[in-house]
Amino acid sequence: MGEFPNRILLSHAPPEAYAPMTRAILAKLGYAILVPKEYEAVVGEANVHPVIRIVDERQLAEVPDEGDAIPIIVISGRYGVTGADSRIIGAVRRPAGMHELFRLIQGVTEDSPRTTPRIPTHLNVRCTKDGKQWGATVLSISENGCLMRSPEPLNLGAQFELELRFPRETIQVEAEAAYQLLPDLGLIFHAIPTRHREAIQNFVATTLITSSVEAVPGVAS
């Protein structure tokens, strides 16, 4: 018997209900979104069940009510959904984006859910604190924080400016040294402007599409 995806999400929604690359990026993160025919082909007669159903609101009536307790995420219009079906745990607006789905999926499938995906990287950055500047390397990053290796020591709680140099743009964020993961520092980002947050999200999404995701040390969520 072949190996199954880490987490199977059964999709009762047409391709256009998802934003471009949403399914591909979530697959890189270990969540395979399969339509019923794909699910049957992959699983066959094995005792493997989906952890979530993702259902377009226009197809809710087609979802079998077999007494199962598989939670449902609804892809809806701007008005969301009601709680008429006890299996519905949340809704995202059509077309469903990776970040919105990720938050809901994590809340259901993980004991310690993350709000944003993280990726391994090797990103050259510049730190500025009290007029002093130095170079460092970011080893993993999410839109909320990163893991950094710095030649200069930083006390826990220290706040400083971090210049992130992405391939297409450079941004500055306010960072705080939140924890140590020796020999590295876990940073959290404070009060990120929307434009800068979107730049980090785009970098994460692009990296996920162009490379496979490996296990990496934890960063602040």
In the chain, the domains with their CATH numbers are: 7-109 (3.40.50.2300), 119-210 (2.40.10.220)
| Cβ contacts of 209-213, under 8 Å, gap ≥ 24 | 209/21, 209/24, 209/25, 209/28, 212/28, 213/28, 213/29, 213/30, 213/119, 213/120
What pLDDT score was predicted for residue 126? 97
Amino acid identity, residue 186? G
Token pair in block for residue 192: 């990120």
Q: What is the pLDDT of residues 114-138, one digit of tens each?
A: 778 888 999 999 999 999 999 999 9
- CA 33 to centroid of chain Cα atoms: 14
What pLDDT score was predicted for residue 83? 66
What pLDDT score was predicted for residue 63? 86
What pLDDT score was predicted for residue 209? 84
The angle formed by the CA atoms of residues 146, 147 and 151, to the nearest 5 degrees, is: 125
What pLDDT score was predicted for residue 216? 41
The Cα–Cα gap between 95 and 60 comes to 16
Q: First CA to last CA across the chain, in angstroms? A: 36
Which ranges of the chain have pLDDT less than 50?
A: 1, 212-221
What pLDDT score was predicted for residue 132? 96
Q: What is the pLDDT of residues 41-62, one digit of tens each?
A: 888 777 788 999 999 999 988 8
